[in-house]
Amino acid sequence: MIKKPFFGWGRPKLKYPVIQKHETDLIELALGEKVIVLFGKPCSDIDEGFLKVGNRVKTGQRLSLRDADDEYFISPATGTVTEISEHIGYLGVNQTSISIKTEKDEQWDDEFRNSGGTVSSETAVKFLGRLPGCSSFASFVKAAPTLDTIVIKGIDEDLLITTNQFIINSRTEALKEGIGYLRRITDAKRIILVVPPALVNKAEETGTEVKVVDPVYPQGLPEMVMKKLLDRTVPEGKTCEQMGVGFISSEAVASLADAFGQGRIPVHKIFALINKQGLCVNIKARIGTPVKDVLGFLDIHTYAGDRLVLGGPMRGKSIYSEDTPVSEDTDAIMIQDKERVILYSDTPCLNCGECVRACPANLPVNMLVRVLENGLYEEAAQEYDLLSCIECGLCAYVCVARIPVYQFIMLGKYEFEKLKSAEELNA
């Protein structure tokens, strides 16, 4: 048993933004000249000639890179494939980037509509596996063990973002319809909508069970919701899904209503744009829209030293190119002015204990970061609770020495999984 030198008290009181009842403003971007789709398979896995440069695609068309492949993506626009190339994503993940030159004369693919629009798990897996707000909806539907409880997120996981609250506030009827479809697609016995106190009345209009979450970060994270509202602690190394509880965004559920109601696979994403002053506006854009098109539409300029982040200030990931596209899971694009960027340092840990006091999982972060810095990933998992981290980022936020603790932990989890996979292959 680990002997923790500190306990989790004195955490910073960071408040989630709470949307007001009258806030329904949404800036909609026109379709640009190009969209880019990132697919989770490397280029080397593409069947030669199956999808190639020069192919013409339709909006909503179901496409894959290999014959008889269960994994697919949806074309977000009508146009011609102009480039298929390797893309190295977060933590070195090898993906395929598919660029499509768009056409103004948009044509919709009719395969989903002609399937009869049957509301079933089979239809959802075949056509709706990558919903706006949930890029892994197919896995969600096919989860093993079967999900007995589904939690619909009415509050976003990171700070400054209000996408899920916006859906509840402005698309209540679509959310209500989507919940009905969700009941028919899954075998969940219980569906819960989790919202901040200000949106309880709106949430109750959906007719589903509503629970209130304290709008203090990181109470919106799944592990915290499990503990605080469902009285279930997620064991080390396990996921909420493995415990029979699935989490899904309000946007994804509302998208089900769009899909089955209109007979068209949703191809738009709603996300927050957080400018250099920290002000947030909600944007609706075509999935695949490059970040530079979003910035250009809003007349936002970036300069050397500025930082672009996909996500919020606590859990977001920096990107190195403005060609990076909006994806189904893009909840925010944040721009940080170079003067406001807090740089990490190589100062050694001061052992002040701030990270341990801030950690909601009560991890020995000061010891954990030491072994991670030295590449001791198995020791970090086996001796210092690496896999119990809920990835809130509070440790890095409070670190006096400016050590990138959160990034060390994310890298540690990734490397540990690689080691474990290698051991299983050689067993």
For the chain, give every domain's residue range. 7-31+110-341, 32-105, 354-426
What is the tens place of the pLDDT at every residue in 257-285? 999 999 999 999 999 999 999 888 999 99
- The whole-number pLDDT of residue 43 equals 73
Could you tell me where the beta strands, DSSP code E, fall in 206-260? 209-212, 245-249
Residues facing residue 370 across a β-bridge = none
Asked: is 32-105 a CATH 3.40.50 domain? The reply is no
Identity (one letter) of the amino acid at 379? E
Q: Residue 292 contacts by C-beta under 8 Å, 6 or more apart in sequence?
A: 322, 323
- The whole-number pLDDT of residue 427 equals 64
Token representation of residue 293: 């098109």
Residues of the chain with pLDDT under 70: 1-11, 21-23, 44-49, 67-70, 116-117, 427
- The whole-number pLDDT of residue 46 equals 66
- The whole-number pLDDT of residue 328 equals 96
Identify the CA nearest to 40 among candidates 121, 138, 180, 162. Answer: 138
- How far is residue 251's CA from residue 215's CA, in Å, rounded to a whole number? 19
Query: What residue has token string 């993506």?
Result: 73
- How far is residue 63's CA from residue 65's CA, in Å, rounded to a whole number? 7
- The whole-number pLDDT of residue 253 equals 98
Q: Residue 43 contacts by C-beta under 8 Å, 6 or more apart in sequence?
A: 84, 85, 86, 96
- The whole-number pLDDT of residue 6 equals 36
The DSSP secondary-structure symbol of 322 reads: T
Query: What residue has token string 């709008």?
Result: 215
